[in-house]
Amino acid sequence: EAGIVILGAGQAGFQAAASLREAGHAGPLTLVGDEPWLPYQRPPLSKAYLAGKTDAEGLALRPAAFLAEHRIAYRPSLRAEAIDRAGRRLLTDDGPVPYDHLILATGSRNRPLPVPGADLDGVRQLRGLADADALKVDLARVGRVAVVGAGFIGLEFAAVAAARGLHVTVVEAAARPMARAVSAEMGAFFRAAHREAGVAFAFDAGVSEILGEAGRAVGLRLADGSAVPADLVLVGIGVLPNQEIASAAGLAAADGIRVDALLATQDPSISAIGDCARFPTRFARGLAADGTVRIESVQNAIDQGRALAARLTGRPAAYDAVPWFWSDQGPNKLQIAGLAAPGDEAVRRGDGNAFSVFRFREDRLAAVESVNRAGDHMIARRLIAAGTPLTPKQAADAAFDLKGLAL
């Protein structure tokens, strides 16, 4: 018996392994990953770990003993090159790994910045532990930092760098921060908060080149011709799903490996979960024409790992978890429930440094963004899961009993 093989030992792959054992899968279970460490959490890499508030041990999802106790055959530093579907084997640089069922949990990688100079020394990205370690060394020796992209990771990184007293400039192609993910109102709050912490911004600004001297980055050239001097450039312009191994094996993949509501690919012996998977969900209503999404979050990785483990141990159920996400930027905690689209109606509840923006699409509550208002976030998850009717007027009314509605 070949058992279940999981490709990718990140958040989703590890969760699937743990949940399979918890659900009673007794057969062989192999976890293959190309990184050398124990499976670890990525979120602290741009937060507590980068700021030196936790060490590498603190990142591990579980200690090594957990893998042994649960008979999870962990194969680190092993890269899979191809899937032999007919032979049911994963082909790796250390020989074939046979499977009865293959779980693809290959995650995503950073989108490269397609400009001259992107390969200079001093140009970095932040995806894995190795990136974070390199950045920690950099942060201790540079004075000026340029961040390309005002998304979650760029802004979290900017907050940590600014808190260390570095001179930080964030350059963003859109007109505001986190433009794809949050409302203009929430974006404005974070822009102001980062500015107060000393971060400078350039919006509507394209990067045309990374300037270099003797092989090292010395700044950015923007599309308008201006220059941003920097000793360190962090590129955070989104990710691409690691789907090539699936598409090369003939599985459908377009911005994500295509799976059904049970997280199965077209091959009944292969499933996909986490950042690499594109799946149908009711929460995509009015957002994607075909009703599918690909989500990059810890919640999605964990819940899909659990849902798939349930199916593979005889309890199939359509994946239907409410998407939620968080981002810590300096002292401010952003939490998002649901999936918003840039055109969604936005209604504010609360004020000052603690408020929520309720987003409505097609007359329904689609998402809630909260800053420093964890209570609203928890209520929002329940309202969105249940599809409880709520009007924009009720959401904006501080006297309206939201909590009572969610019970």
Site residues (vs ligand FAD, CB under 6 A): 7-13, 32-35, 42-43, 45-46, 79-80, 105-108, 126-127, 153, 242, 245, 274-276, 296-299, 301, 325-327
CA dihedral sign, ordered 80, 134, 107, 102 = positive
We find the least distance from the C-beta atom of residue 325 to ligand FAD, in angstroms, to be 5
On whether the CB atoms of residues 274 and 321 are closer than 8 A, the answer is no
3-class secondary structure, 80:
strand
Separation CA 278–CA 290 (nearest Å): 11
We find the least distance from the C-beta atom of residue 276 to ligand FAD, in angstroms, to be 6
We find the least distance from the C-beta atom of residue 243 to ligand FAD, in angstroms, to be 10
Parallel, antiparallel, or unpaired for β 167-171 and 200-202?
parallel
Instruction: Between 106 and 169, name the residue whose CB sits nearer to ligand FAD.
Output: 106
3-class secondary structure, 156:
helix
Q: Which residues contact 199 (CB under 8 A, 6 or more apart)?
A: 158, 159, 162, 168, 169, 170
Instruction: Between 212 and 338, name the residue whose CB sits nearer to ligand FAD.
Output: 338
Instruction: Between 130 and 223, name the residue whose CB sits nearer to ligand FAD.
Output: 130
Separation CA 44–CA 15 (nearest Å): 18
Q: Could you tell me how many helices (H) and strands (E) the chain has, helices first?
A: 10, 26
Instruction: Between 30 and 402, name the residue whose CB sits nearer to ligand FAD.
Output: 30
We find the least distance from the C-beta atom of residue 214 to ligand FAD, in angstroms, to be 30
Tokens of 227: 């220059």
Task: Work out the angle between the directed axes of helices 152-163 and 184-196 (0-180°, nearest 10).
Answer: 20
Separation CA 397–CA 402 (nearest Å): 9
We find the least distance from the C-beta atom of residue 85 to ligand FAD, in angstroms, to be 15
Instruction: Between 102 and 218, name the residue whose CB sits nearer to ligand FAD.
Output: 102
Q: Which residue's CB atom is positioned nearest to ligand FAD?
A: 10
We find the least distance from the C-beta atom of residue 159 to ligand FAD, in angstroms, to be 12
3-state secondary structure 98-130: ECCEEEECCCEEECCCCCCCCCCECEECCCCHH
Instruction: Between 94 and 401, name the residue whose CB sits nearer to ligand FAD.
Output: 94
Instruction: Between 219 and 241, name the residue whose CB sits nearer to ligand FAD.
Output: 241
Instruction: Between 93 and 397, name the residue whose CB sits nearer to ligand FAD.
Output: 93
We find the least distance from the C-beta atom of residue 110 to ligand FAD, in angstroms, to be 8
Instruction: Between 297 and 332, name the residue whose CB sits nearer to ligand FAD.
Output: 297
On whether the CB atoms of residues 384 and 284 are closer than 8 A, the answer is no
> In 10 A of CB 216, how many CB atoms?
13
We find the least distance from the C-beta atom of residue 29 to ligand FAD, in angstroms, to be 16
We find the least distance from the C-beta atom of residue 382 to ligand FAD, in angstroms, to be 19
We find the least distance from the C-beta atom of residue 344 to ligand FAD, in angstroms, to be 20
Tokens of 407: 């019970």
Tokens of 216: 């090292």
Instruction: Between 156 and 344, name the residue whose CB sits nearer to ligand FAD.
Output: 156
Separation CA 230–CA 206 (nearest Å): 16
Q: Which residues contact 324 (CB under 8 A, 6 or more apart)?
A: 297, 299, 335, 336, 337, 338, 377, 381
